[in-house]
């Protein structure tokens, strides 16, 4: 069957991104007040209390917290009517931090709440200029109020990992973390596709090329794979590869199982049964350890158009058994999305990507893979949607329930900034994290995360030349105690 030209052209643009010659930047964040669901812009001076009230009111003070690593800290205080609450701002290594207030008042008669009001204020501050500010807790009925303050401090830092010899520069490699080793499979090098499996030992800062045997996977890139078991601190690893693409943009189909033992990797092509996915590329992939189930979503098909089919696959001996479960909700069809897995709670997150004809998508979705009643897609309706991009990296901070997106391209330029979304916020909002030194902007990257210590990694990519560097980012360090 001859592959349609439209499929080639879309994939060629997505993978090579020849237009990505410069960095793209996020829009400036807006100071805002949200009152009962209505958002209006406010000026900085509107946040200052009336001087006459400040002089007469008592001033409960929260002592200055130690500088925190990038984290979210909540400070709570119940205030009497007319009280002034002074917050001393923690220092920030980047000079700028963000703070949010959640002020709630409640009128209670005979133990029954009959009225509840909520005020949310969000704005940025510069610790080198502004040392503290005050908030008056009072409503028109002189009710007491509960004030909670969320403070984000200290910009996360990237670290460039060193090594002497390693893989050549490449775009669209697949990456996974197994114990003390980062695994990198395939990718598009200057000479075409690759089927090499490289292993970077974090403790020794060195790369090793695995010796392959068996039904070795064809040369290509944009492989979609999952690690299914890890033993001996990453010395023995098993996993599955279900999708890829050759250097001529022809889909690589089939299900391959790999077993890594030391520096050797053995490949086996499995027999497929059930509702096998049609040929596609640049899908989102996840794995449920609880159900021992691989999940594949979306991707661009041979027709040149993406779909929104969710496939599941389980291994039965040497057979890969595929199904298409009936789901109540589905994200819009897409390819090239940023995706990542929360392995603790069995969730697959999908952010942005491209619809048909490379139409932008800026939404955020989560698939609850481990749900006993059956899998469920749920849209996370975030404010200030993330800027459209494809083929970037998504990091999942399991401990603090946050998502981070880095890199990718918008069709004209590559991104080099880091954006964050806190999932537990009452109104989740994508926010750009400024004042940090990022790796060079790029697209066609792949990433991996250690969900125990919060360290994430990116490797390779195109900016627009092929890159071979390796970087780490600590997104969830252990926070210091706060009052």
Asked whether 89 and 130 are in contact (CB, 8 A), the reply is yes
Residue 466 binned pLDDT confidence (cut-offs 50, 70, 90): very high
Helices (H), strands (E): how many in the chain?
2, 39
The region of weakest confidence among 76-90, 211-225, 240-254, 320-334 is 76-90
Question: How many whole angstroms separate alpha carbon 207 and alpha carbon 212?
Answer: 16
Residue 35 binned pLDDT confidence (cut-offs 50, 70, 90): very low
Residue 136 binned pLDDT confidence (cut-offs 50, 70, 90): low
In degrees and rounded to multiples of 5, residue 444 shows phi and psi of 60, 45
Report the pLDDT value the prediction gives residue 478, as an integer from 0 to 100: 43
Question: How many whole angstroms separate alpha carbon 362 and alpha carbon 264?
Answer: 41
With vertex at residue 448, the alpha carbon angle to CA 254 and CA 92, rounded to the nearest 5 degrees, is: 160
Please say if the pLDDT value at position 146 is more than 70: no
Report the pLDDT value the prediction gives residue 257, as an integer from 0 to 100: 98
DSSP string, 351-398: EEEE-GGG-EEEEEEEEETT-TT--EEEE---BSPPPP-BS-EEEEET
Neighbour-count burial of 151, counting CB atoms closer than 10 A to its CB (0-12 exposed, 13-18 middle, 19+ buried): buried
Residue 78 binned pLDDT confidence (cut-offs 50, 70, 90): low
Query: What confidence tens digit (pLDDT) does each residue in 193-227 have?
Result: 999 999 999 999 999 999 999 999 999 999 999 99
Instruction: Pinpoint the residues of the chain covered by CATH 2.120.10.80.
Output: 157-474
The region of weakest confidence among 3-17, 387-401, 465-479 is 3-17
Query: What confidence tens digit (pLDDT) does each residue in 263-309 have?
Result: 999 999 999 999 999 999 999 999 999 999 999 999 999 888 999 99
Question: How many whole angstroms separate alpha carbon 269 and alpha carbon 258?
Answer: 9
* Residue showing tokens 């537990």: 424
Neighbour-count burial of 165, counting CB atoms closer than 10 A to its CB (0-12 exposed, 13-18 middle, 19+ buried): exposed
When pLDDT is averaged across residues 371-387 and rounded to a whole number, the result is 92
pTM: 0.74
Query: What confidence tens digit (pLDDT) does each residue in 396-441 have?
Result: 988 878 899 999 999 889 999 889 898 876 778 898 876 567 899 9
Asked whether 292 and 228 are in contact (CB, 8 A), the reply is yes
Please say if the pLDDT value at position 460 is more than 70: yes
SS3 397: strand
Residue 36 binned pLDDT confidence (cut-offs 50, 70, 90): very low
Q: Identify the CA nearest to 442 among candidates 423, 459, 464, 420.
A: 464
- Who has greater pLDDT, 344 or 43? 344
Question: How many whole angstroms separate alpha carbon 342 and alpha carbon 238?
Answer: 19
Which DSSP helix (H) or strand (E) runs through 51?
A: helix 51-56
Report the pLDDT value the prediction gives residue 63, as an integer from 0 to 100: 35
The topology under which CATH files domain 157-474 is Neuraminidase (2.120.10)
Report the pLDDT value the prediction gives residue 89, as an integer from 0 to 100: 55
């Amino acid at each position: 069957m001859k592959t349609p030209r439209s499929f080639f052209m879309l994939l060629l643009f997505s993978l090579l991104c020849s237009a990505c010659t410069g960095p793209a930047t996020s829009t400036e964040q807006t100071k805002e007040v949200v009152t009962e669901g209505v958002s209006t812009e406010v000026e900085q001076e509107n946040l200052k209390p009336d001087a006459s009230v400040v002089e007469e009111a008592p001033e409960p003070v929260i002592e200055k917290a130690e500088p925190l690593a990038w984290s979210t800290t909540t400070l709570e205080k119940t205030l009497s009517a007319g009280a002034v609450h002074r917050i001393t701002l923690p220092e920030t290594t980047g000079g700028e931090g963000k703070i949010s207030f959640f002020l709630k008042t409640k009128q209670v008669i005979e133990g029954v709440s009959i009225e509840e009001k909520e005020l949310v204020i969000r704005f940025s501050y510069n610790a080198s200029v502004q040392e503290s500010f005050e908030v008056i807790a009072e409503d028109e009925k002189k009710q007491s109020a509960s004030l909670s303050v969320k403070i984000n401090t200290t910009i996360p830092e990237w670290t460039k990992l060193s090594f002497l010899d390693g893989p050549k520069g490449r775009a669209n490699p697949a990456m996974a973390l197994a114990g003390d080793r980062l695994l990198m499979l395939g990718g598009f090098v200057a000479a075409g596709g690759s089927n090499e499996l490289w292993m970077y030992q974090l403790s020794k800062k060195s790369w090793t090329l695995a010796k392959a045997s068996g039904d070795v996977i064809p040369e290509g890139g944009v492989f979609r794979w999952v690690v299914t078991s890890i033993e001996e601190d990453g010395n023995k690893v098993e996993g599955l590869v279900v999708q890829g693409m050759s250097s001529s943009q022809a889909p690589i189909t089939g299900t391959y199982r790999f077993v890594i033992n030391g520096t050797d990797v053995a490949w086996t092509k499995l027999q497929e049964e059930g509702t096998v996915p049609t040929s596609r590329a640049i899908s989102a992939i996840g794995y449920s350890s609880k159900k021992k189930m691989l999940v594949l979503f979306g991707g661009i098909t041979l027709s040149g158009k993406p779909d929104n089919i969710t496939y599941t696959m389980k291994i039965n001996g040497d057979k890969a058994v595929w199904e298409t479960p009936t789901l109540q909700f589905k994200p819009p069809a897409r390819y090239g999305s940023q995706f990542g897995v929360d392995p603790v709670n069995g969730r697959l997150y999908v952010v942005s990507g491209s619809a048909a004809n490379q139409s932008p998508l800026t939404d955020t979705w989560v698939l609850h893979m481990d749900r006993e009643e059956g899998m469920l897609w749920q849209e996370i309706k975030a404010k200030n949607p993330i800027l459209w991009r494809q083929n970037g990296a998504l990091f999942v901070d399991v401990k603090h329930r946050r998502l981070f997106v880095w890199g990718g391209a918008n069709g004209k330029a590559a991104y080099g900034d880091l954006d964050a979304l806190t999932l537990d916020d009452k109104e989740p909002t994508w926010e750009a994290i400024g004042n940090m030194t990022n790796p060079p902007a790029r697209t066609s990257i792949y990433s991996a995360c250690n969900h125990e210590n919060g360290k994430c990694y990116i490797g390779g990519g195109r900016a627009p030349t092929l890159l071979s560097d390796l970087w780490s980012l600590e997104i969830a360090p252990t926070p210091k105690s706060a009052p």
